[in-house]
Amino acid sequence: MSGMIVIGASAGGVQALLTLLPALPAQFPRPILIVLHVPPDRDHGLVTLFRARCAMHVCEAEDKQAPVPGTIYFAPANYHLLVESGGSMALSADDPVNHSRPSIDLLFETAADAMRSRLIAVLLTGANADGAMGLRAVARAGGTAIVEDPDTAQVRAMPAAGLALCPDAVRLVINTIAPYLLRLA
Amino acid sequence: MIDEVAPSDIDDIEIELLLEALYRRYHYDFRHYARASIKRRLIQARGRLGVASFSALQEQLLRDPAMLAKLLNYLTVQVSEMFRDPSYFRALRERVIPHLRTYPSLKVWVAGCSNGEEVYSLSILFREEGLDQRTLFYATDINPKALKAAEAGVYQLDQIRKFTENHQKSGARTSLSDYYVADYDRAIFDSSLRANVVFSDHSLATDSAFAEMHLISCRNVLIYFDRDLQERAVGLFEESLVRRGFLGLGHKESLRFSDHVAGFANFSREEKIYQRRER
């Protein structure tokens, strides 16, 4: 696999992703794995919501499956999503991390470990600090770290925490992230 | 010239050696567990046990059996709830129990029972459905500490609200409070719930089938295994189940890609309940 994109978002995340994801073409050359914090007890319906609006294929991440280019994978509700060293996806029902399951840190850290410089991580709007440690791990492993500009994010806490731990991350306004990813791809 | 190696690659080598040592010294086999989760748990253990590296941990492990117990608690740590995923228990109650009623005696295996939440849930459900007197439950795990906790049946009182809510959603015929007494911050479950439960050490990685089962519940265990170990475990289940016996997996687990898929029929696609085919 040539590379992978991971995205983490919390409060305000649906809106942010509705700006970002539909702007990517069906043939986008990398798979995109997403952790979006949602209440644990219900089926989050994100696949249906985004499938209707995206050119890329949208589905729920499945344990032991290899992600393929042109596809967006959402972590299922109440499971962590991890990346194995060969690049395949793995689920876990371990304890919540930072009160979250799925946890953005876990996705970012395992993906950084597996993909190194071939990883691009994007941390979006949110009201907690999940993802900040993960973003730092991505940068340390030689990957590209991108943070939504906290000044224009719907909720600034999460991107601000990301920038605090990873000051060299690329800081972008939400509607410029898709064009930026297209240039990198 | 020797290549630069990332610290994480060295970790990977050390982890592989550590798991090999754990197996050869104590016969606990984690070599075919999904590696990303194991690595994360070992990183936690390394931090909290205050060792500098996985190699240092390995050295202590080889010489000090007390380290084994400590390490197992990281490697097998499992959180659960009573009646977790209530729709699964509702499906058992409404769709599987009618089949089980036709047998004069029943055996049920909770494989990977951890602290026992699921076996107490099933014990309550079978009592509510009037099958408890003819059912023998096997609750197995590889962690002796978890088995002990399961046998004790004591849970934190602050979990009870969630357990009760789950129980109600499962189609409860009784109140969960009928089955425990509160003692300070703990809920102690009635010992009659485990009168027909055999708690036993059993590894899906190294042990064999041990009895003929009518229902096997093994949820959120297979996701921690690699493909080879998943195949081994599902093979054990197939071997253990009576014809037309039932296998319940976690919501995100499936036999779809298993070599054993032909041995099972989809009984409830939604709830990941399978039924062993007649041969």
Three-class secondary structure of residue B269 per DSSP: coil
pLDDT value for A41: 64
Residue A90 near chain B (CB below 8 Å)? yes
Task: Indicate whether B81 belongs to any domain.
Answer: no
Q: How far is B101 from chain A (nearest CA, A)?
A: 31
Note whether B261 and B135 are same-domain residues.
Answer: yes
Averaged pLDDT, B97-106: 98
Size of interface A-B (CB pairs under 8 A): 58
Q: Domain range for residue A13? A: 4-184
- Assigned token pair, B212: 């003929």
Note whether B110 and B243 are same-domain residues.
Answer: yes
* Domain count of the fold of chain B: 2
More confident residue, B125 or B5: B125
Local structure of residue A97 (DSSP, 8 states): B
Note whether B54 and B116 are same-domain residues.
Answer: no
Going by their DSSP bridges, the two strands B241-249 and B197-201 should be labelled as: unpaired
Of B75, B106, B134, at which residue does a domain stop?
B75
Nearest chain A residue to B250 by CA distance is: A93
The chain-wide mean pLDDT, for chain B, equals 95
Asked if the Cβ–Cβ distance from B223 to A85 is below 8 Å, we say no
pLDDT value for A43: 67
Asked if the Cβ–Cβ distance from B227 to A113 is below 8 Å, we say no
Asked if the Cβ–Cβ distance from A90 to B34 is below 8 Å, we say yes
Nearest chain B residue to A60 by CA distance is: B252
Mutation pick from B8, B44, B73 vs chain A, by most beta carbons of A within 10 Å, is B8
Whole-angstrom CA distances from B53 to A47, B13, B109 are: 41, 11, 38
Judge if the upstream peptide bond of residue A102 is cis by omega within 30 degrees of 0: yes
Residue B3 has pLDDT above 80, yes or no: no
Note whether B41 and B166 are same-domain residues.
Answer: no
pLDDT value for B182: 96
pLDDT tens profile A22-70: 999 999 999 999 999 987 766 678 999 999 999 999 999 999 999 999 9
Torsion, CA B186, CA B189, CA B191, CA B194, rounded to 10? -120
Nearest chain B residue to A114 by CA distance is: B36
Asked if the Cβ–Cβ distance from A63 to B77 is below 8 Å, we say no
Residue B78 near chain A (CB below 8 Å)? yes
End-to-end, the C-alpha distance of chain B in Å comes to: 60
Note whether B135 and B251 are same-domain residues.
Answer: yes
pLDDT tens profile B246-256: 999 999 999 99
Note whether B102 and B189 are same-domain residues.
Answer: yes
Residue B77 has pLDDT above 80, yes or no: no
Interface confidence (ipTM) of the complex: 0.91
Asked if the Cβ–Cβ distance from B78 to A93 is below 8 Å, we say yes
Note whether B189 and B243 are same-domain residues.
Answer: yes
Note whether B57 and B134 are same-domain residues.
Answer: no
Of B55, B75, B95, at which residue does a domain stop?
B75
What contacts A46, CB < 8 A, 6 or more positions away? Answer: A14, A36, A38, A74
| Parts of chain A with a pLDDT under 50 | none
pLDDT value for B44: 93
Task: Indicate whether B1 belongs to any domain.
Answer: no
Residue type, A156: R
CA-wise closest residue to A185 among A8, A55, A3? A3
A57, with CB counted inside 10 A (0-12, 13-18, 19+), is middle
Note whether B100 and B134 are same-domain residues.
Answer: yes
Asked if the Cβ–Cβ distance from A93 to B35 is below 8 Å, we say no
Instruction: Read off the CATH number of the domain in which A98 is found.
Output: 3.40.50.180
Q: Domain range for residue B156? A: 86-276
Residue A63 near chain B (CB below 8 Å)? yes
Residue A52 near chain B (CB below 8 Å)? no
Asked if the Cβ–Cβ distance from B224 to A92 is below 8 Å, we say yes
Task: Indicate whether B139 belongs to any domain.
Answer: yes
* Domain count of the fold of chain A: 1
| Active site amino acids of A | 10, 37, 130
Lay out the sheet containing B186-189: strands in order across: B154-156, B186-189, B180-183
Helices assigned H by DSSP within B27-159: 35-48, 54-63, 65-75, 86-91, 97-100, 117-128, 144-152
Question: Which residues from A are below 8 Å from B37, CB to CB?
Answer: 82, 90, 92, 94
- Assigned token pair, B41: 């748990």
Q: How far is A124 from chain B (nearest CA, A)?
A: 24
Nearest chain B residue to A141 by CA distance is: B6
Of B50, B75, B100, at which residue does a domain stop?
B75
Residue B159 has pLDDT above 80, yes or no: yes
Note whether B199 and B91 are same-domain residues.
Answer: yes
Between A62, A84, A93, which is nearest B220 by CB? A93
- Assigned token pair, B230: 């998943």
Residue B135 has pLDDT above 80, yes or no: yes
Note whether B56 and B34 are same-domain residues.
Answer: yes
Instruction: Read off the CATH number of the domain in which B219 is found.
Output: 3.40.50.150
Question: Which residues from B are below 8 Å from A102, CB to CB?
Answer: none
Note whether B135 and B33 are same-domain residues.
Answer: no
